Chain A
Amino acid sequence: MNLSNDRGSMSTAGSSVVSDQFPVGLRVLVVDDDPTCLTILEKMLKTCLYEVTKCNRAEYALSLLRKNRNGYDIVISDVHMPDMDGFKLLEQVGLEMDLPVIMMSADDSKNVVMKGVTHGACDYLIKPVRIEALKNIWQHVVRKRKNELKDMEQSGSVEEGDRQPKPPEEPDYSSSANEGSWKKRRKDEEEEAEERDDTSTLKKPRVVWSVELHQQFVGAVNQLGIDKAVPKKILELMNVPGLTRENVASHLQKYRLYLRRLSGVSQHQSNSFINPQEPPYGPLSSISGIDLQTLAATGQLPAQSLATFQAAGLGRSSAKSGLPMPLVDQRNIFSFDNPKLRFGDGQPQQMSSGKQMNLLHGIPTTMEAKQLVNLHHSAQSLGGMNMQVSAHGGQSGQSSSLMMQMAQPQSRGQIRNETAGGQVPRLPTSVAQPVLSNGVGSGVLTRNGSGENGRGIAYNTVSQASSMLNFPPNHTPELPGNSFPLVPTPGISTLTPKGPFQEDVNSDIKVSVGFISSYDIFNDLQQHKPHGWELQNVGLTFDALQRPNSLPSSVDATPSVLIAQRYSSSQRSGQNSIASSMFSVGEATEHGNSQNIGQNLNNLLVDNSMRVKTERVPDTSCPPGLFSQHYGQEDLMSALLKQDALAQLKMSLSLMVILWIIFLCSTRFIHQFSSWLQYLMYILAITQLTVRSCQQSVDRERKSIVWLHVAPSSFATLCCAGFIWT
């Protein structure tokens, strides 16, 4: 039919053409008072192979639409028009013909666009309109048809009564009377007559479920009971004139879906709470890594032992899923047992082995390549620490592991010695550095170092530890001393891991468990003191480490803080913080900052489990008895592991392990230390850290157990360190 426009040219609208060749042949009616735009739009739409009808007056457009209800698929209208507001036209078209309407304007202000949305426009185009935007308008037609189809079908299925089947294209007009009455309710008076005449309407007019209407609906549903609510009864209860059963039916279906979704979401939410528990093994692992590194730093342990140590420790940590993990959560330090949490796989065994790790305390056994692999593996979980470790070559790995081993036993006793020297840490640090760079993510403790001088790194991850391990054998000069902050802390000597230390540790440092364990170890080592290491010093260091805040030393960041940093900020900032903390620890050692060392020790302690492992792997230099002791303590630890405190404990244990390993490593360098005192200091530092980590990770109530655990490991470490040293 030819539609004529009073002003511009008009193109015929193929009204009777059914849009089979969709979207080609889409029948578009475009309304704009601007002739320039109108012409351009018409041309564009024609280029899109649509059938275009243009008119520049809204009233005329409406008359066109009414004359041929079936004649158009979509309407494009300008917002600002002289004779009628574009939004009004939008409403009318939506009500009368229920066609999709696209608004367009040069006005792109938000409120105008919002107005379009609220009035029901299916799209809003900003002038200048590009042809690409017009190419896609067919989607609105399809969508609308689809929704209506669905609504009809839904109404049909929901209704229990007999309902005349309505073909999608030809809705049943038996209820047109209802629809007419409904429309009347919603539309202007003048439109009513046209509304009634809807036998030719293809689509049913929409029912807008206003708030009140919905309230009524919900009330009716509740009254009837959600299961018993049927559209017919709801309709009766609602008693809204003009509302059809189909409307109610479709709305009811939607409402049911909504309720179902709500209940599903609430379940999901409850489940999601489980997850947060897991996280933070990281710190432990990192601590252990640190321990290892420290131990390695000591250089006492042979590379091999360190490697094994580290491997064991790392393996533990991975198993525990905590070792390599960054210090995500201090609580989880000891959650070695939850390997699943982080590394989740099959490492529960390692968890138990974590206990065994204690055996490794101070015993830098030769780490097998496998262990080293484990370490690497755990490091991987950390985020590639292992990679780095390996990247640094087997040497570094081995050396780091060795260092770990060394660190561990040494952490007990040797570290003290080392601390005096303060040189060992350097080595591991440098090694740790490269390693650290790997697994920044997880190894909060260890990772930190990557960027940092490496001191922190040494403490961060096992890999770091491994790197540290490298130190002793290979890169002695490289270590800036970062990695073993634990070791060379002159200030460490101020720590007194003894009794009061325990308390302090627990209170001050999260990784207190590690500390405690390390402390215990230190005590044990002290007893054994094969080399007459000054465990006292170590204890002192621990003290200093423990009380990050209380330490008189000039350490700025309390170890706990640092450790916390390590744990919490694990992946990113943690790294740096830890590294820095470790760094500071290392530096502290060197500069007499016991606190730093303590922190480092804490880191080590966090990796208590690791440390324990490393200790397990220590060289044969450590008396087997130590292991048995550790094992016994392991049992205790396993009991503890059942709780959060346990997790923390584990973390600290791993930290200790790492610490000791570092000590051990550092002991390797004892030969390079001109003074035995340095070594001692190193050991002290490590011990401090260990205790600190223990403290942090363990509940106060578990202090005793932690100490029990720590003591043997410390002892073992020291023994090993001593052996190596000699």
Chain B
Amino acid sequence: METVPQLQRKLGILDDQFTQLQELQDENNPDFVVEVVTLFFQDTERLLNELARTLDQQTIDFNRLDAHVHQLKGSSSSVGAQRVQTVCVLFRNYSEERNIEECLKCLQQLKQEFYFVKNKLETLFKLEKQILEAGGTIPVQ
């Protein structure tokens, strides 16, 4: 299981924005990061479903598609999910070009990246929780 810095540097899954989130966390909000990330996961899943649905239509509403992708881009960048954000940019380009084929591919890619980062982070949080419950402390990175 990689640490956050490793996730950042080696894999490029997370970027500096995630560090900012970590810095926002303090004693008053000890679970801030977890909260935000959880929110992100929930919202993204919703969005992904929306995207799938939109692309499934007979006539695809690209504006709607663009709006969703745009939002996903914003939220992923806010939490620092770098790879997700990158795919969103690509997705938007293809959406502008009305390239359905590529859009579908991008959607798949999005899902991939999203679940990957979700997996990693969830594991990380679980571990952290276990450490805290065992009485230890998480070293500040």
Number of interface residues of B (CB under 8 A): 21
Quick check: is A129 within 8 A (CB to CB) of the other chain? yes
Q: With a CB–CB cut-off of 8 A, which chain A residues contact B67? A: 80, 82
In the complex, which of the residues A37, A128, A131 has the most CB atoms of chain B within 10 Å of its own CB atom? A128
Quick check: is B95 within 8 A (CB to CB) of the other chain? no
Q: Is the CB of B78 within 8 A of A127?
A: yes
Q: Is the CB of B24 within 8 A of A131?
A: yes
Quick check: is A654 within 8 A (CB to CB) of the other chain? no
In the complex, which of the residues B21, B43, B74, B80 has the most CB atoms of chain A within 10 Å of its own CB atom? B74
Q: Is the CB of A106 within 8 A of B73?
A: yes
Chain B contact residues, majority secondary structure? helix
- Assuming the A-B contacts A34-B43, A35-B43, are A106 and B35 also in contact, with contact meaning beta carbons closer than 8 angstroms in the complex? no
Q: Tally the A-B contacts, defined by beta carbons under 8 Å.
A: 57
Q: Is the CB of B40 within 8 A of A36?
A: yes
Q: Is the CB of A107 within 8 A of B70?
A: yes
Q: With a CB–CB cut-off of 8 A, which chain A residues contact B17? A: 128, 130
Q: With a CB–CB cut-off of 8 A, which chain B residues contact A229? A: none
How far is it, in angstroms, between the C-alpha of A665 and the C-alpha of B79 when the chains are bound?
Answer: 77
**Residues of A1-44 whose CB lies within 8 A of B:** 33-37, 39-40, 43-44
Q: Please, what's the 1-or-0 string for B12-45, where 1 marks a CB less than 8 Å from any CB in chain A?
A: 0000010011001000010010011001100100
Q: Is the CB of B29 within 8 A of A43?
A: yes
Quick check: is A105 within 8 A (CB to CB) of the other chain? yes
Q: How far is the CB of A668 from chain B (nearest CB, A)?
A: 70
Q: With a CB–CB cut-off of 8 A, which chain A residues contact B39? A: 35-36, 39
Q: Is the CB of A34 within 8 A of B74?
A: yes
Q: Is the CB of B75 within 8 A of A36?
A: yes
How far is it, in angstroms, between the C-alpha of A716 and the C-alpha of B74 when the chains are bound?
Answer: 84
Quick check: is B8 within 8 A (CB to CB) of the other chain? no
How far is it, in angstroms, between the C-alpha of A411 and the C-alpha of B17 when the chains are bound?
Answer: 74
Closest residue on chain B to residue A8 by CB atoms: B39
How far is it, in angstroms, between the C-alpha of A131 and the C-alpha of B10 when the chains are bound?
Answer: 25
**Residues of A115-168 whose CB lies within 8 A of B:** 127-131
Q: How far is the CB of A112 from chain B (nearest CB, A)?
A: 11
Q: Is the CB of B29 within 8 A of A106?
A: no
Q: Is the CB of B24 within 8 A of A47?
A: yes
In the complex, which of the residues B29, B39, B70, B78 has the most CB atoms of chain A within 10 Å of its own CB atom? B78
Q: With a CB–CB cut-off of 8 A, which chain A residues contact B77? A: 106, 127-128
Q: With a CB–CB cut-off of 8 A, which chain A residues contact B40? A: 36
How far is it, in angstroms, between the C-alpha of A80 and the C-alpha of B24 when the chains are bound?
Answer: 26
Q: Please, what's the 1-or-0 string for B54-94, where 1 marks a CB less than 8 Å from any CB in chain A?
A: 00000000000001001101110111100000000000000
Q: With a CB–CB cut-off of 8 A, which chain B residues contact A37? A: 74-75, 78
- Assuming the A-B contacts A34-B43, A128-B17, A128-B80, are A39 and B74 also in contact, with contact meaning beta carbons closer than 8 angstroms in the complex? no
Q: How far is the CB of A135 from chain B (nearest CB, A)?
A: 13
Pairs A-B, 8 closest by C-beta atoms: A106-B74, A36-B75, A128-B77, A36-B40, A128-B78, A128-B17, A127-B74, A106-B73
> Can you name 22 A-B pairs with beta carbons within 8 Å?
A34-B75, A34-B78, A35-B43, A36-B36, A36-B75, A36-B79, A37-B78, A39-B36, A40-B21, A40-B24, A40-B78, A40-B79, A43-B24, A43-B36, A106-B70, A106-B77, A127-B77, A128-B20, A128-B77, A128-B78, A129-B78, A131-B24
Q: Which residues of B contact A (CB under 8 A)?
A: 17, 20-21, 24, 29, 32, 35-36, 39-40, 43, 67, 70-71, 73-75, 77-80
Given A35-B43, A43-B29, A127-B78, 13 other A-B residues pairs in contact with their CB atoms under 8 A: A35-B39, A36-B36, A36-B75, A36-B78, A36-B79, A37-B75, A40-B24, A43-B24, A43-B36, A80-B67, A105-B74, A106-B70, A128-B74
